[in-house]
Amino acid sequence: MRSSPNVIITGTPGVGKTVHCEQLAQDTGLKHLSVNQIAKERDCFEEFDEERKSWVVDEDKLLDAIEDEVLQGGYLIDWHACDLFPKSWIDLVVVIRCPETSILYDRLSSRGYHEEKLQENLDAEIFGVLSEEAREAFDEEIVVELNSEKDGDVDSNCARIAEWLENWKKQHAEDAE
């Protein structure tokens, strides 16, 4: 039984997943697990996709690489996908959204995304692809959608998630008694 929950912070590239994870790690003591970083450090790639100019992650190798750590609990899992993680590993799925696509467009262009990749990500955000994936992969009651567009959004979202974490810990401490 985990003493700390595992939370996935997911969403389209550019919505603010990493900023949320970094602030939550600082505020709550949970560990920020950047899937992109782990994939690079532990060589969890299948191939390089020339068309998208990005690496394709070997999901089985990735899960094997993080399983021992994640099963201990206390992780903020930062990645643009959530449906590959086993249900038993995850206690909360937070889908960060940026429905104002002009803001998202600016964020992605400043990162140097080429037009095709940029458009693909905008379409995914417009159609709520990652929210849908989260709801299909996990129980509805653990999936939360939060917007990240305005200056105060990260702070208010992190406060809300931190409150959920405290409630989870209290509930699980009571259950253990």
Give 116-171 pLDDT, tens digit per residue.
889 999 999 999 999 999 999 999 999 999 999 998 999 999 999 999 999 999 99
Are 83 and 89 in contact by the 8 Å Cβ rule? The answer is no
Is 121 part of any domain? yes
Q: Which of 35, 15, 167, 14 is nearest to 92 (CA)?
A: 167
Binding residues: 14, 16-19, 111, 150
Is 160 part of any domain? no
Give 93-113 pLDDT, tens digit per residue.
999 999 999 999 999 999 999
Is 104 part of any domain? yes
Are 20 and 157 in contact by the 8 Å Cβ rule? The answer is yes
Binding residues for ATP: 14, 16-19, 111, 150
Query: By residue range, what is the domain housing residue 18?
Result: 7-155
Q: What is the mean pLDDT of the chain?
A: 94
In this structure, how many other beta carbons lie within 10 angstroms of the beta carbon of residue 14? Answer: 24
Count the domains in the chain: 1
Give the distance, in angstroms, between the CA of residue 69 and the centroid of all CA atoms in the same chain. 17
The CATH code of the domain that includes 106 is: 3.40.50.300
Is 53 part of any domain? yes
Are 14 and 111 in contact by the 8 Å Cβ rule? The answer is yes
Is 54 part of any domain? yes
Is 95 part of any domain? yes
Is 176 part of any domain? no
Is 60 part of any domain? yes
Give 70-88 pLDDT, tens digit per residue.
999 999 999 999 999 999 9
**For residue 1, pLDDT beyond 90:** no
